[in-house]
Chains A and B, each alone.
Chain A
């Protein structure tokens, strides 16, 4: 029983087809990401699934409900973190949580929610005095206040510093580990790779690829590069013979090994150690979802 089922979704704004015949499904307990550049149609899609927007064509079923006709029933069971949403400047953290909790029939213990999200210290603080990271944490808290089965996160970490982003990622993983399903959109490929169980790459209103990040990268068939410097000498053929290696290039003591497979790096390092060769400055360059996107669309992700 998929948690979200979308078939032939279509949404048009005037002349622009924002979402063009999009179909996919999301399963219970997974973190599913819609990835793509800004303007790809991700937010429109997520809003159609949430019930905030009315599709022009296609079928959407969220938690087996129709988001348009069963909107209120659906909202009891989902949590939504919209892309740009702020709260009134001078509302206190606990007040906002209390207010939102009052909208639902069921809500979690607010104190423990604040604790989980590291907001207890700031419970009396005014919204406009919070840092960007704290605002985002409050934003997630508001989406979790009713202990939803399904959570929507639209552009979770836009504008956050790297540390705050990591905190967010851990939080999302925690939520999934509790058995909830997470549907997120992002334009950060790195985020999608790290976080999502499955990913749908979206561009100009269409889904251009959908699979696990690992599969997508592997299917790309692009080699991983392992770059390092050696002290001592080594026959390149011994490296070439290793499992997964496709090519080895050398320029005096700088070596680049091309290959594929999970065990590639391990094999190379082991081989070097076994031969008593010391290596320095080891660097691995792997293809990323960005490369997948580039390959599929011929364009780079504009970030």
Chain B
């Protein structure tokens, strides 16, 4: 697993996007809008609302882009095929991937939080454990989705394309980048079909101490995605 992690760190582009991009967004929007509580955000600052949303971006990045591309690339190069000639169990390999991506996503989220706190006086009203749980659920849900995409894509290039095609609408329509409150009605309608929308809602909701009873749809959607994703990719995952 350590080797996988080192490998990830050595891909500078992936590293940049996953960890730095949300930070950039944070600083750009943060400086423009500041973080004073405002009616527009229901009494919260724009950064307060954005940080959980940007966590969604990190999660989407991991699930929709990083995983499909790196898995498909490895498959294309024959890396996976060679692993199949050793006694290593497929579950071990999958688990090590999942662990690595999970760690990276957590790191990204932590960076966001720390930066938000230091520079913008980030406010947090929820329960850390709840938010963490929601975060974990979202990450695993999207990781499962990522493996499904990796299983469906035949080449690394198509994995790249599929990932991008899913990633950008998802982050722009779900409220992860452009705040939900600003989105036009039509977009909101589409957004209800996107899993990322529920990630954002869930994280934001718990961030501001909304009760779990309000999060049931989100949780259901994400859990569903996780379960279905795992089942589907277990069936169709191709090692070569």
A88 touches B77 (CB 8 A): yes
Q: How large is the interface on B (under 10, 10 to 19, 20 to 34, 35 or more residues)?
A: 10 to 19
CA–CA, A6 and B97, complex, Å: 37
Known contacts A88-B74, A90-B10, A90-B11; is-contact A82 B85 (Cβ 8 Å): yes
B:1-50 near A, CB below 8 Å:
3, 6-7, 10-11
Chain A interface size band reads: 20 to 34
Contacts of B87 in A (CB 8 A): 72, 75-76, 103-105
A residues within 8 A CB of B192? Answer: none
B182 within 8 A of A: no
A130 contacts B by Cβ under 8 Å: no
What separation, in Å, do the CA atoms of A84 and B76 have in the docked complex?
10
Q: Which of A50, A84, A90 contacts B85 (CB 8 A)?
A: A50
A100 interface residue, CB < 8 Å from B?
yes
Interface centre among A50, A80, A98, A105 (most CB of B within 10 A): A80
Are A104 and B86 in contact, CB atoms less than 8 angstroms apart? yes
B79 contacts A87, CB within 8 Å? yes
Whether B86 and A100, one on each chain, are in contact in the complex, defined by CB atoms closer than 8 angstroms, is: yes
Q: Is A86 at the interface (CB under 8 A from chain B)?
A: yes
Interface residues of A in 59-105 (CB under 8 A from B): 72, 75-76, 78, 80, 82, 84-88, 90-91, 95, 98-100, 103-105
Given the complex of chains A and B, what is the CA–CA distance between A100 and B7 in angstroms? 15
Is the C-beta of B82 less than 8 angstroms from some C-beta in chain A? yes
**Cα distance A39–B99 when bound, in Å?**
40
A residues sitting closer than 8 Å to B (CB atoms) are 50, 52, 72, 75-76, 78, 80, 82, 84-88, 90-91, 95, 98-100, 103-105, 142
The 9 closest A-B pairs by CB, nearest first: A85-B78, A80-B85, A103-B88, A90-B10, A103-B86, A86-B77, A75-B87, A85-B82, A99-B3
Question: What are 6 A-B interface contacts by the 8 Å CB criterion?
Answer: A52-B85, A72-B89, A75-B85, A75-B87, A86-B78, A88-B77
